[in-house]
Chain A
């Protein structure tokens, strides 16, 4: 009877009394059912090992009998929130996979199209054109490579419990290295980069992650700039936080775009950005890293005037004490 009720209704939350006959069988069915389901056990006091065993098996809560009404209410509220969060996460994953598929499809289509041309013998007697086709294919495969690298980074950051080694470091040094890296491409676009940093800016963080944050921000500030434009990297410590500001004199964005720019694959599509390639994951990676350190990231921007990206990271404990 109980088993039938479970199978017939697919409940999101199951409250199961362990004193019922065949309760073990029902529990097994409850835990194997709908993945989002939350199972709460109502039991007389159990030995600690048995409690751990049940929680490990997938029960979300054990409530001691006799039941306390408030305890029960809060357990059900918690279970229903967990169930909703599970469902949301599932649908986010599905959407993420659809976006990844779409983003990889266009460079793949392009490379396939060129290969098809060569196979059909179109343009093969023109060495100049063949060279052009190779250049285009390489550009699109590099774009796919960047996308795959960024996806790896996103999945690493989303995986719980895997945090890279941290050390005390000065963000001014990282900013200098990043600016040196981008100097040639900025010069190509007649964009100047300037660092404004005074006091030591110490954080307790992973150097590669900090480099990724500044790399992505400076790279965007150069890419979305205009000839003769400027990029300013400002690093300023206060009592508890380090403020990083990356400003550009570029194309800027509307308030609508500002609201979604830190989401996955949130690339702004307009005539000005058509020729600028990106994976659409750079800023969402920045957000993930910064939030992983208990920091915040935000943007201030005006169309045609430029943008300022602001990051706040907790100052290293040794430095702020």
Chain B
């Protein structure tokens, strides 16, 4: 459990797959998080404008196959302190070896962590814990 000092942490989940959203929502709520959801870039930025989430989990493939990259940039531009985890299962379509990205590739992707789908919640949660401690 993350030591929250009595503050409820919030996570923003951004994906156009309803099942991924629902599964992560149940899991994060179970872990004591406040969960907010968005299905595209516009909704995600509207949520961020309302209130700063403690962490954002963004899928690469939203309205376009690479919308997640743009969204990461926009989030970091709005608030560079929001940790962003970028997830994807489209390595074969973008040609980007997602889980084996080099340091150089990582440096231009404005995400703190990149994970390949399918994701085990424990793995995602571990990354969230690590980012929130930083």
Residues of A within 8 A of B (CB): 98, 101-102, 105-106, 108-110, 112-114, 116-117, 120, 122-123, 129, 136, 140, 269-271, 274
Given A109-B118, A113-B118, A274-B16, check contact A136 B22 (CB 8 Å): yes
Residues of B within 8 A of A (CB): 16-17, 19-20, 22-23, 26-27, 30, 39-40, 63-65, 89-90, 92-93, 117-118, 120-121
Partner of A269, one of B22, B23, B64: B64
The minimal Cβ–Cβ distance linking B53 to chain A, given in whole angstroms, is 22
Q: Once A and B bind, how many residue pairs between them come within 8 Å at the CB atom? A: 53
The minimal Cβ–Cβ distance linking B38 to chain A, given in whole angstroms, is 12
- Docked-complex contact B92 and A269, CB < 8 angstroms: no
Q: Select from chain B the residue with minimum beta-carbon distance to A270.
A: B63
The minimal Cβ–Cβ distance linking A319 to chain B, given in whole angstroms, is 46
Q: Which 6 A-B pairs have the closest CB atoms?
A: A110-B19, A109-B118, A113-B23, A98-B92, A105-B89, A274-B16
What's the dominant secondary structure at chain A's contact region?
helix
Chain A residues, Cβ within 8 Å of B17: 106, 110
Query: In the docked arrangement, what's the CA distance between A316 and B63, Å?
Result: 45
Q: Select from chain A the residue with minimum beta-carbon distance to B93.
A: A102
The minimal Cβ–Cβ distance linking A127 to chain B, given in whole angstroms, is 15
- Docked-complex contact B63 and A114, CB < 8 angstroms: no
Query: In the docked arrangement, what's the CA distance between A129 and B26, Å?
Result: 10
- Docked-complex contact B30 and A102, CB < 8 angstroms: no
Q: Select from chain A the residue with minimum beta-carbon distance to B62.
A: A269
17 examples of A-B residue contacts, CB within 8 angstroms: A102-B89, A102-B93, A105-B89, A105-B117, A108-B118, A109-B20, A109-B89, A117-B23, A120-B121, A123-B26, A129-B26, A136-B22, A140-B19, A269-B16, A271-B40, A271-B63, A274-B40
Query: In the docked arrangement, what's the CA distance between A89 and B88, Å?
Result: 29
Q: Select from chain B the residue with minimum beta-carbon distance to A107.
A: B19
Query: In the docked arrangement, what's the CA distance between A116 and B16, Å?
Result: 21
Chain B residues, Cβ within 8 Å of A106: 17, 89
Q: Select from chain B the residue with minimum beta-carbon distance to A106.
A: B17
Partner of B117, one of A101, A109, A117: A109
Q: Select from chain B the residue with minimum beta-carbon distance to A129.
A: B26
- Docked-complex contact B92 and A102, CB < 8 angstroms: yes
Chain B residues, Cβ within 8 Å of A123: 26, 30
Query: In the docked arrangement, what's the CA distance between A112 and B118, Å?
Result: 8
The minimal Cβ–Cβ distance linking B1 to chain A, given in whole angstroms, is 15
Q: Select from chain A the residue with minimum beta-carbon distance to B118.
A: A109
